[in-house]
Structure 1
Amino acid sequence: MKSQIHLIRHGITEGNQRRLYYGAADIPLAKEGERMLKELVAEHIYPEAEGSDFYTTGLIRTEQTLTLIYGEKEHSVIEELREMNFGQFEMKSYQELKEVPAYIEWAGDKTGTFASPDGESIVEFRKRIENGFDILMGRHRLKELSVRHSGKDAFSTVVCHGGTIASIMEFYFPGKREHFYKWIPDPGHGFTLDVKAGDVLNYGEF
């Protein structure tokens, strides 16, 4: 039996185009994001969806991405897998923030424990993602058990965020890449995790 979890980053948004800090902001895909996803679908880069359980984080950009890739699919929401909340820095650029004392202090933090005003710290973010992935893995494990004797495969497909995916990948494959940011896939791309009985074994990219 094949057992896989597909992690897909949502398509391009205004936040990506303008290089803004955003995670909690519920913004839609940009027109470019919609166009690019349609092109990627035409290139057949996405994992098979037959029999998959589908998930989003409930934010509009993940909902739109799921629909553009796989059509209208019944799915569940795991809010714990949302992108980092940047608090008062949301929807602002480096140029807008570079002289703000709170931003300077936050950006210079090497411990990961300093939260942006009204936002969350890196440590808090990673713990939330760990909890969210535990929820997902628990549901996927039930999927594995439900198809174990049927000869079918177990697939779970999650449309989420770049920071979310990087956090998951760095947790399971420490030292494989030199920096957290090297794990962030391009918009519309992601990773397939091969799993067995709740363990992540290896990965592939798409």
Structure 2
Amino acid sequence: MKSQIHLIRHGITEGNQRRLYYGAADIPLAEEGVQRLKELVKEGIYPQAEEGDFYTSGLRRTEQTLALIYGEREHETIPQLREMEFGDFEMKSYEDLKEVPEYVEWISDKSGNAASPGGESIAGFSTRISEGLRILRGKHQLKELSVRHSGKEAVSVVVCHGGTIASIMEECFPGRREHFFKWIPDPGHGYTLNLEKSDIVTYEIF
């Protein structure tokens, strides 16, 4: 059986506009983000998902993005798919932090094990996203079972975050990109994961 999981990054926020570190901060979409999503909907870039199951990370920017793209939909939240938490660095920019010793130490770490004060390490974030992906795939498999004899394709739509999507793609397609950050889609864009017999085999960009 073939099926699809669509991963969509939320629209533009103040955090994107001001180039801030933000993950746990529950900020809404900026007006620019709302307008850009409406434009992308008109361009028809989003996969059809009339019979799909819908998920968000539970943060406002993902809830708003889902509603703008697909309308008000019943959906579940998967908190494990939230963005990386930056602790004391939340809603601050490089310029705000560049002379803070804890920040300098954090960005200089190459092991992935250093955490921002009150926040997550890269390793801890990756572990959490792996758990979120496991939960998502389990729910998607239930969808596959529910449509097995209907002739329809199982579809799941997940609205989450840039770092979350990059971590998922890096796990599913190791070695396909040179660097984690190259997997991060633009706001409002994302990837379609194509599955065969519940295994993720290829992807498409939208």
Bucket of the pairwise TM-score, normalised by the shorter protein: over 0.9
Secondary structure of the residue aligned to 1:201 is: strand
Deviations 1:152-185 (CA, angstroms, capped at 9, x unpaired):
1100000000000000001111111110000000
Answer yes or no: is the 8 Å Cα contact 1:141–1:197 preserved in 2: no
Is residue 29 from structure 1 mapped to residue 29 from structure 2 by the alignment? yes
TM-score (norm 1): 0.99
Q: Please report how far the alpha carbon of residue 196 of structure 1 lies from its aligned counterpart in structure 2 after TM superposition.
A: 2.6
Please name the residue that 2:40 is paired with. Answer: 40
The TM-score with structure 2 as length reference comes to 0.99
Aligned to 2:88: 88
Gaps of 5+ in 2: none
SS in 2 for 1:4: strand
Alpha-carbon distance in structure 2 between the residues aligned to 1:54 and 1:197 = 21
Q: Could you say which residue in structure 1 is the equivalent of 2:169?
A: 169
- The size of the alignment, in residue pairs, is 206
For structure 1, the 5+ residue unaligned runs are: none
SS at match of 2:159: strand
> Which amino acid in the other structure matches residue 63 of structure 2?
E
Q: Helix, strand or coil for the counterpart of 2:8? A: strand
Please name the residue that 2:13 is paired with.
13
- Deviant stretches of 4+, over 4 Å: none
Give the counterpart letter for 2:14 in structure 1. Answer: E
Distance in 2 (alpha carbons) for counterparts of 1:60 and 1:17: 17
Give the aligned partner of residue 126 of structure 2.
126
Alignment check: 8 A CA contact 1:138 1:198 kept: no
**Rounded Cα–Cα distance in structure 2 between residues aligned with 1:76 and 1:66:** 12
Corresponding residue of 2:156: 156
Q: C-alpha displacement at 1:194, in angstroms?
A: 0.4
Deviation at 1:149, TM superposition (A): 1.1
Query: What RMSD, in angstroms, separates the aligned Cα atoms of the two structures?
Result: 0.7
The one-letter amino acid of 2:6's match is H
**Deviation, structure 1 residue 29:** 0.2
Q: 2:2–2:197: 8 Å Cα contact kept in structure 1?
A: no
